[in-house]
Chain A
Amino acid sequence: MTNEILLAGFGGQGILFMGKMLAYFGLYEDKEVSWLPSYGPEMRGGTCNCSVCISDDPIGSPLVDTPNTLIVMNTPSYDKFINSVVPGGTVIIDSTLVDAKCDRTDINVYYVPATALANEHDMKGMANIILVGKLLKETKFTTMETVKKAMAKVIPPKKAHLIDANIKAIELGMTQ
């Protein structure tokens, strides 16, 4: 079983960072993992996406084009990817930035006003982490213990003071 995760939004929203965090969740659960960013001119301020695979078996293709988990943080990404999610899949949407409502009934769609929540709770720039919290709540794919371990690894030592804030953002996401 491979959890094929696609994360998409604008450059600067922390899409790649979010992917790295999810990949470390997998690594610390002794899974096979891969992380693949979109790269090239589209990195420069345009849309940005990232494929993460977490699997019990060696990963063949690190490129996710039919995700069973999708997190989207802008409308162009929503439009581009919403129909690629496999039936039964999970979609988490930052509803502050995406107006659309999904009419698919074969997937589980959750709307979280993550950017607004981040601003309200003095967590500017952590909307992505709030969405990860929501994903944790809905799919329970890892434990808080693993989350904390991964945070310590993925956040560079120079920014270690942000670990607690990130964990709070996860917790906030889990209440949504």
Chain B
Amino acid sequence: MAEKSLMKGNEALAEAAIRAGCKCFFGYPITPQTEISAYLSKRMPKVGGVFLQAESEVAAINMVYGCAGSGIRCMTSSSSPGISLKTEGISYIAGSDLPCVIIDVQRGGPGLGGIQPSQADYWQITHALGHGDFHAIVFAPASVQEMVDTVTKAFDLADEYRMPAVILADGLLGQMMEPVAFEDTEIKMSDASKKPWAACGHGNKRKHNIINSLYLKPDELEDNVRARFKRYEDVKAKHTEAVSDYCEDADTVVVAYGSTARLAKSAVEAARKEGLKVGIVRPITLWPYPAKEIAEACKNAKNVLCVEMSMGQMVDDVKLAINCSKPVEFYGRTGGVIPKPAEILEKLREMGGKN
């Protein structure tokens, strides 16, 4: 590992992408993620990569579709309203079994909403990233270093399973600087050599490859979708991730992801100092959703608290994870308001009193 430097989350994501061999980046400016584009516009030409500012979010994701279809690692990034625009393209990418990485640095919504940190894209990213039956792998890192470490994993899994991977960040993680270190590896841009399916010119050596999501015969489309969902089972079995702390004897378990998890963890530690038996479980992947891990963390709890920067979009998933076996309460702020650890602590005290 090299020396630690302070980097903004957005810039760290961009550098991490280059180090993961991401050759092409296609993006469109939107706050609070524009530093990703700005950084890559400087760096890409120096490392033999491609940076292109697209005419729209829609064009950017379709450039990703073309580039990924030709077998090259590529990425796009945006923030909430921009992700809404990209969902058509993401559906085609999923339907054509193409790997790519998409970054969402969330801001408040709906509509133009605001530009401050939010987690109100949870439903969109995990449940409705476009039309049709499909999933993307969704990572929810909670620190700048974790975002860096997630990028390579996201590219690798996207390639392995030929599906889009999303890194779900928010304005807090994108804008803040924290110490980061990158592994000392040689920068090597990806090529299509390990992707026999890629439409990169057959060189008169094989039959033509077709990148396509159109299946006019219902039986064929059903088979295609079922085969994809079979692959999803493998992703679920091998790549579901969560981390828990202080849960073993906890009466109340907090479930929170991303930047909210670090706020909630501060509250949990403060509560422990007051003698409250509370723990926290943090989903690292939001799809596959760590239902088993959450159930395990909550097994001794009397109640569960879901904390989010939204109106509680994850609450139902938590209830399903524990089969509604105990009460699930919610504390959250939305619209770009960041919940304070003190507010979460107050809620934990209140719930502790009910135990």
Contact = CB atoms under 8 A, between A and B. Distances in A.
Closest A-B pairs by Cβ, 4 of them = A60-B266, A35-B177, A36-B176, A40-B115
Contacts of A35: 6, 176-178
Interface string A32-68: 1111110110000000000000000011111101000
Interface in B140-166: none
Given A23-B177, A33-B178, A60-B266, A65 B6 contact: no
Contacts of A153: 5
A34 B266 CA distance: 15
Given A35-B178, A60-B341, A63-B338, 16 more contacts: A20-B177, A23-B6, A23-B177, A24-B6, A34-B176, A34-B178, A36-B175, A39-B32, A40-B116, A59-B178, A60-B262, A61-B266, A61-B338, A62-B172, A62-B178, A65-B340
A107 interface: no
Label chain B's interface by main secondary structure. Answer: mixed
Interface in A59-88: 59-63, 65
B263 interface: yes
Contacts of A63: 172, 338, 340
A24 B5 CA distance: 8
B6 A20 contact: yes
Contacts of B171: 39
A27 interface: yes
Q: Which of A20, A27, A32, A60 has the most CB of B within 10 A?
A: A60
Most buried by B among A33, A34, A37: A34
B326 interface: no
24 contacts: A20-B177, A23-B177, A33-B6, A34-B177, A35-B6, A35-B176, A36-B175, A36-B176, A36-B177, A39-B31, A39-B32, A39-B115, A39-B171, A40-B32, A58-B265, A60-B263, A60-B341, A61-B263, A61-B266, A61-B340, A62-B172, A63-B338, A63-B340, A65-B340
Chain A interface helix/strand/loop/mixed: mixed
Contacts of A34: 176-178
A46 to B, nearest CB: 14
B112 to A, nearest CB: 13
A40 B171 CA distance: 11
Nearest to A33: B179
B6 A61 contact: no
Interface in B1-39: 4-6, 31-32
Nearest to B143: A58
A144 to B, nearest CB: 20
A66 B177 CA distance: 20
Interface string B163-203: 00000000110011111000000000000000000000000
B4 A27 contact: yes
B119 to A, nearest CB: 15
B346 to A, nearest CB: 15
Interface string B210-235: 00000000000000000000000000
Contacts of B263: 60-61
Given A60-B263, A65-B340, A37 B6 contact: no
Interface in B109-134: 115-116
A27 B179 contact: yes
Given A24-B6, A35-B6, A39-B31, A61 B175 contact: no
Interface in B305-355: 338, 340-341
B99 to A, nearest CB: 32
Interface in A6-21: 20
Nearest to A51: B176
Contacts of B176: 34-36, 62
A59 B267 CA distance: 11
Contacts of A20: 6, 177
Nearest to A39: B175
Contacts of B116: 40
Contacts of B115: 39-40
Given A34-B176, A35-B177, A39-B31, A59 B6 contact: no
Contacts of A33: 6, 178-179
